[in-house]
Structure 1
Amino acid sequence: MISGFHENAIDEIVARCNGDIRGALKALLLVNEQLEAELAELHAVVAHGGSRGPKRGVLH
């Protein structure tokens, strides 16, 4: 079951894509790919016992 928060988020994402559901899905997939890449980078840093400072250019 989708919560009201998720319903609102979905509506906002679709609205930002001018009602284009396909465009909204594409945007979400691109964001997901970026987050997966960042997560993989963090896993690699942790695996090597290092630390990572803030990365410039990150949007979130």
Structure 2
Amino acid sequence: MSLISKDAAIDEIVASCNGDLRGAVRALLLINEHLEAELAKLYAAAADHSLAERGNNVLH
């Protein structure tokens, strides 16, 4: 993503919060928390799948 498109994205986010910078940051933090939770679930699912593929002999 280029600097211009990043700036445009920032402008769009701030505009969607009616120019409220604090609101824009709050919204981004909430979205980030949601994405981190989804990523943690994906990592857990991948780890479970990996263990299931190894069978009962996980230590070897």
TM-score range relative to shorter protein: 0.7 to 0.9
Tell me the TM-score normalized by structure 2: 0.78
Runs of 5+ consecutive residues of structure 2 not aligned to the other structure: 51-60
Aligned residues: CA RMSD: 1.4
Which of the pair has more CA radius of gyration?
2
Aligned to 1:58: none
Provide TM-score, normalisation by structure 1.
Answer: 0.78
Following TM superposition, the consecutive aligned residue runs of length 4 or more in structure 1 with deviations greater than 6 angstroms are none
1:20 equivalent in alignment to 2:16:
no
Distance 2:5 2:24 in 1: 17
Contiguous gaps of at least 5 residues in structure 1 = 51-60
1:32-47 aligned at under 5 Å gives the runs 32-47=32-47
